[in-house]
Structure 1
Amino acid sequence: MRDAYTDQLDELGDALAGMCEDVATAMEKATRALLDADLRLAEQVIDEDIRIDEIRHSAEEKAFALLVLQAPVATDLRIVVSAIHGAGDIERMGDLALHVAQAARRRHPQPVLPEEIAPYFAEMGRVGVALARKAGAVIRSRDLAAAAELESDDDAMDDLHKHMFTVLMDRNWDHGVEAAVDVTLLARFYERYADHAVAVARRIVYVVTGQMPGPLAV
């Protein structure tokens, strides 16, 4: 019975780590759709988002079943509770990738971003995808050092997000209000995506140590 229970806990972690890879792929595709005005890729992200939602629901059902049937305590309880919260964080990352793809579809065939802004979003996409994949690796390894690295890795996204405001406030901005709104919203999507990845890593710290490292950003 104990072996079966341990296997169920491991399967729950594997499901969340797999979700991280799914949302990383979604953001990678969404960013390419955004930069290349690629309607096909945008539609892929939109269509595939339902799968991420389904995995979240399945993970939550398994977690609640473990709570009811196994009455876990100590580390096991922290694993189950963190899985419930983590599934929500990761699913939200998928939603944010979806929002990026929807922006690309909404403006198609026109590009969403002014040409000089695009490289910043290419970098935000790269950072976000790397954070999601590292979060998945942390779920599997429970490596506290790697979890802490996500905090510093997220600083790069925060810097890019802040820089967008500098760009938008520049007196030489001549792309109009509509483009400014798009840039503001999209930058926020990427910044929040990264915040959720950090939240996942913090929950792993909680699983291992029993203490949450500071207030959650999300």
Structure 2
Amino acid sequence: MRVIFNEEMRAVADDLDTMAQDVRRAINLSCTALLKSDVEAAQSVIDGDSAIDNLESSILDQCVKLLAKQNPVATDLRVVVSTMRLASTFERMGDLARHLAEAARRTYPQSAITPDAMPLFTQMGDFLTVMADRMVSMLADRDAKTAEQIILSDDQLDALHHKTFDLVLADDWTGSRQDLINVVLLARFMERLGDHAVSAARRVVYIVSGFDPTKEPSRDEGTDID
């Protein structure tokens, strides 16, 4: 029975790795679509979202069957339940990337981002690109150290998100109401991508160590995303 459980769990882990890679691609393409008004990149994200949804459904079904047939306990139970949570988190990240892509497609050929907001959004996009790479690496290696880097670096994205409010509330803001809505809403989508990455990172820490995923690791030097 143990051999069967390990084989089935390995298949689920492979699907979860594929899902993380698909989410990374969606994040990268959605940032490209938003920052460069690339409608082809936007459409690719939108078209690819169903594959991410299907992977989530498949992973959840496989995990439910494992719970029912194998009756896992202790560490095995922790892995199965955490895998289900990770799949749901990645599915939501795919949805957020799709929202960014839809905004880029809706405003094409114009940019959804005003010129004065572009530097902030470029920094947020660069952050998300590095974060997505770390997320895939973290999951593939079950690397708690990389997970902690994701958790601790999230303050940088939060700070950039707050600056978007400063921008649109400034006395010299000249954008339209629609521009304001775009900046605030799209920045929120990007900030939420970071939050979900943190949730995934905490879940990986929990899988590896059993450490409570709601707790913050201690802050050390060298956790910045450059």
Q: Mean alpha-carbon deviation: is it higher for 10-19 or for 26-35? A: 10-19
TM-score of the aligned structures, taking structure 1 as reference length: 0.93
Q: Mean alpha-carbon deviation: is it higher for 9-18 or for 165-174? A: 9-18
* Matched residue type, 1:206: Y
Q: 2:221 matched to which residue of 1?
A: none
Deviation at 1:215, TM superposition (A): 5.8
Distance (Å, rounded) in 2 between the aligned partners of 1:22 and 1:130: 15
Q: 2:202 matched to which residue of 1?
A: 202
Query: Is contact 2:20–2:136 with CA below 8 Å preserved after alignment?
Result: yes
Distance (Å, rounded) in 1 between the aligned partners of 2:88 and 2:155: 23
Q: 1:89 matched to which residue of 2?
A: 89
Deviation at 1:164, TM superposition (A): 0.7
Q: 2:34 matched to which residue of 1?
A: 34
1:30-179 map, 5 Å: 30-179=30-179
Deviation at 1:24, TM superposition (A): 1.2
The unaligned stretches of length 5 or more in structure 1 are none
Number of equivalences: 216
Q: Mean alpha-carbon deviation: is it higher for 18-27 or for 84-93? A: 18-27
TM-score of the aligned structures, taking structure 2 as reference length: 0.90
Q: 2:184 matched to which residue of 1?
A: 184
Q: Cα deviations across residues 10-51 of structure 1 (Å, max 9, x unaligned)?
A: 222222222111111111111111122222211111111000
Distance (Å, rounded) in 1 between the aligned partners of 2:150 and 2:67: 29
Query: Is contact 1:27–1:97 with CA below 8 Å preserved after alignment?
Result: yes
Distance (Å, rounded) in 1 between the aligned partners of 2:130 and 2:100: 17
Distance (Å, rounded) in 2 between the aligned partners of 1:13 and 1:146: 18
Q: Cα deviations across residues 99-158 of structure 1 (Å, max 9, x unaligned)?
A: 000001111121111112112212212212322232222222222222111112212211
Runs of 4+ in 1 over 4 A off after TM superposition: none
Deviation at 1:65, TM superposition (A): 0.8
Q: CA RMSD in A?
A: 1.5
The unaligned stretches of length 5 or more in structure 2 are 217-226
* Matched residue type, 1:100: L
